[in-house]
Structure 1
Amino acid sequence: MLAADLLALARRGDGEAFRLLVEPYRRELQVHCYRILGSVQDAEDLLQDTLLAAWRGIAGYEGRASVRTWLYRIATNRCLNALRADTRRPRVYSAESEFTLPEPTHRRAEPSWLEPYPDALLDELADDVPGPEARYEMRESVSLAFLAALQELPPRQRAVLVLRDVLGFRAAEVAAILDVTENAVTGALKRARAAMAVPDRESAPLPDSPRERRVVDDFARAFQAGDVDAVVAMLTDDAWLTMPPLPLEYRGLEDVRHFLATVALREGNDHVLVPTRANGQPAFGCYLRDPRTPILHAHGVLVLTLSGDRICAVTRFVDNALLAAFGLPRTLRPRDDR
């Protein structure tokens, strides 16, 4: 059925026609919300808000813009409202540790609420992106480095940069989406570009390539063996380790080594890493063996950022609730260990 026919039926209250009309945009809208908000759960919540608002407003949709642009207008403004309200999630975090963490190289002013995005969901979007270069650009636009830099921008600049540079909307379209002038869009984009400082990832191995798998496998073996020296030997000289949402950053080999030796890989910690992927990068569901039982308990999601044949960043997301998005359980038994 043609989109025009679906639209006509949806305007008359046909829920199935509306579902078919908006379904092609569901995943890309969720990823759009994720880029702006930095949270998978918040993105899904805002996607549902967007679709509900679209259903309620479909009768008033005049067709001056495409259905896709109309949906992006609703989603973007819902996201900006959520950022202004700042009530999306409780601002509570803990070190999840019975001992004092070492003094960090740098302490952020506030927690980072960035969360990892499962590649399994990105794959659904990648199927609709033509050509390897376009797919590479799509994955780069959800890389942890890009998302972390994006979250530092003011909300309006964040939205403008995503709409213009990532999604390719024209300045006039963005002005209509945000209900501002084209000059305001141009100015916001200029400021956003100037403020963005994203590390160069061109030297990173291709996803799932033999080169990447070799680095990832070596890291997993060393980490699971508790071999601090072997892990550190795989890092770049300026490597850094973070644990969102904790506002702590460990930078450089010595500080990362000290953290690994005294916290993550200290004696008695027995880890099991279950491979997955997040944000176009190699990742693991991290589990810690209970010394009193055969049970393995969830210990967050670990994401690696590669530079050539070495690792330039290790990010451990401490919220065990994130594992569900990757299809991973909270606990494992030895027979589940893989």
Structure 2
Amino acid sequence: MAPDAALAPDRTTATRRVPADVEEQLERHRRELTGYCYRMLGSAFDAEDAVQETMVRAWRAVDRFDGRSSLRSWMYRIATNVCFDSLNGTNRRALPMDLSASASPPVMASLGTPLSERTWLSPAPDGHVLPENGDPAEVAVARESVRLAFVAALQHLPARQRAVLILREVLRWKADEVATLLDTTVASVNSALQRARATLEAQDLSGVGSAPDSMDDQHAALLARYVEAFEAYDIEALVALLHEDATQSMPPYALWLQGPVDIGRWHLGPGYACRGSRMIPVMANGSPAFAQYKPSGPGGRREPWAIHVLRVHEGRVSSITNFLDTRLFALFGLPARLDAD
């Protein structure tokens, strides 16, 4: 549902005390609410739907908003309840590394069948979930808190603990503010935060706690070499860019690979159909990413295939997550196809 349609006045609006600029006030919070819902739900699509539902509920109830809290806090309360409803009875989303051992040998038979879309995390465009500007330290925290590894870690937590951790440690709310939002006590909030921290510390959460390299000229040059090698399908050059413990995964398949040797073998085997692809840079989950368009037949036209989300650590590519969900291309504002060069 389009935002304008969702928030359009209904027939009862004339009899309600609705501020003239209510839509503008509500929309002002869409981006930060999308980031919050994404961390809660682990899916960019679910986050967009949750925020849209939040906007609809807020519009319908805005004449009953009593002003005892800020409009922002009130909307976070609605969004939290929407997320709780969405998470009720559902399994946590994950990355392939959370579900099985790495595949060996790296052949087509190891790929298996695609699992349900609700099994996996999905990437989120930076422009949907991160602040446009603000204090550099706060922006850095926001960026780290949407990394794929961190969002995967959050999925290990029960819904209320997840909300408490995000509100307290990512958004920097005070304990009493969180208690008010959740209709509970400060002691309960502090206890939930302690349990959430303990759960995360007890997990083997690959990538959490070791920050990726910052984006500098050397980092940018590495990414440029990655694109050059992939588009030329020079697999020897590609694997030379990989960390010795590098992983590659391809949701919706459970298969994942570890190490340059197996990743290279995959590209020279089942992945060989990707030769001739073109890559368009995007930003996803606070990380560099690329949209891959794969050749689709004679004439040189290329169709959407995958979003590559990369992690760079210690001067090498340490993780490649190829999301094989072509719906993501529209979410990232990408073209539906690329014509011949």
The TM-score by the shorter chain falls in which range? 0.7 to 0.9
> Following TM superposition, by how much is the alpha carbon of 1:33 offset from its aligned partner in structure 2, in angstroms?
0.8
> Following TM superposition, by how much is the alpha carbon of 1:58 offset from its aligned partner in structure 2, in angstroms?
2.0
Residues 10-29 of structure 1: pairs in structure 2 closer than 5 A: 12-14=16-18, 16-29=20-33
In 2: Cα distance, 1:86 partner to 1:316 partner: 24
The aligned residue for residue 174 of structure 2 is 170
- Number of positions where the alignment pairs a residue of Structure 1 with one of Structure 2: 310
Of the three residues 300, 316, 322, the one matched with 1:310 is 316
In 2: Cα distance, 1:50 partner to 1:239 partner: 39
In structure 2, list runs of 5 or more residues that go unmatched: 1-12, 94-105
The aligned residue for residue 285 of structure 2 is 279
In 2: Cα distance, 1:296 partner to 1:203 partner: 31
In 2: Cα distance, 1:111 partner to 1:214 partner: 35
> Following TM superposition, by how much is the alpha carbon of 1:285 offset from its aligned partner in structure 2, in angstroms?
0.9
* Between 239-248 and 267-276, the greater mean CA deviation after superposition: 267-276
Of the three residues 65, 68, 75, the one matched with 1:71 is 75
Q: RMSD in angstroms over aligned alpha carbons? A: 3.0
The aligned residue for residue 202 of structure 1 is 211
In 2: Cα distance, 1:65 partner to 1:248 partner: 47
Tell me the amino acid that sits aligned with residue 199 of structure 1.
V
In 2: Cα distance, 1:66 partner to 1:109 partner: 39
Of the three residues 53, 60, 68, the one matched with 1:56 is 60
In 1: Cα distance, 2:163 partner to 2:187 partner: 15
> Following TM superposition, by how much is the alpha carbon of 1:126 offset from its aligned partner in structure 2, in angstroms?
2.8
Tell me the amino acid that sits aligned with residue 211 of structure 2.
E
> Following TM superposition, by how much is the alpha carbon of 1:15 offset from its aligned partner in structure 2, in angstroms?
5.8
- Secondary structure at the aligned position of 1:157 is classed as helix
- Secondary structure at the aligned position of 1:302 is classed as strand
Residues 136-151 of structure 1: pairs in structure 2 closer than 5 A: 136-151=140-155
In 2: Cα distance, 1:80 partner to 1:56 partner: 20
Identical counterparts, % of pairs: 38
For the 8 Å contact 1:108–1:248, the answer to whether it is kept is no
The aligned residue for residue 32 of structure 1 is 36
The aligned residue for residue 288 of structure 1 is 294
For the 8 Å contact 1:205–1:308, the answer to whether it is kept is no
In 2: Cα distance, 1:171 partner to 1:102 partner: 51
* Between 139-148 and 59-68, the greater mean CA deviation after superposition: 59-68
In structure 2, the CA distance between the partners of 1:286 and 1:84, relative to structure 1 (3 Å rule), is same
In 1: Cα distance, 2:252 partner to 2:159 partner: 19
Tell me the amino acid that sits aligned with residue 20 of structure 1.
E
In structure 1, list runs of 5 or more residues that go unmatched: 1-8, 90-98
Once the two structures are superposed, what CA deviation does each residue of 1:193-230 show, in whole Å capped at 9, x if it has no partner? 22323434435132xx3222101110011111222222
Tell me the amino acid that sits aligned with residue 52 of structure 1.
V
> Following TM superposition, by how much is the alpha carbon of 1:258 offset from its aligned partner in structure 2, in angstroms?
2.7
The aligned residue for residue 253 of structure 2 is 246
For the 8 Å contact 1:118–1:279, the answer to whether it is kept is yes
- Secondary structure at the aligned position of 2:88 is classed as helix
In structure 2, the CA distance between the partners of 1:85 and 1:112, relative to structure 1 (3 Å rule), is closer
In structure 2, the CA distance between the partners of 1:136 and 1:174, relative to structure 1 (3 Å rule), is same
In 2: Cα distance, 1:11 partner to 1:215 partner: 60
For the 8 Å contact 1:295–1:334, the answer to whether it is kept is yes
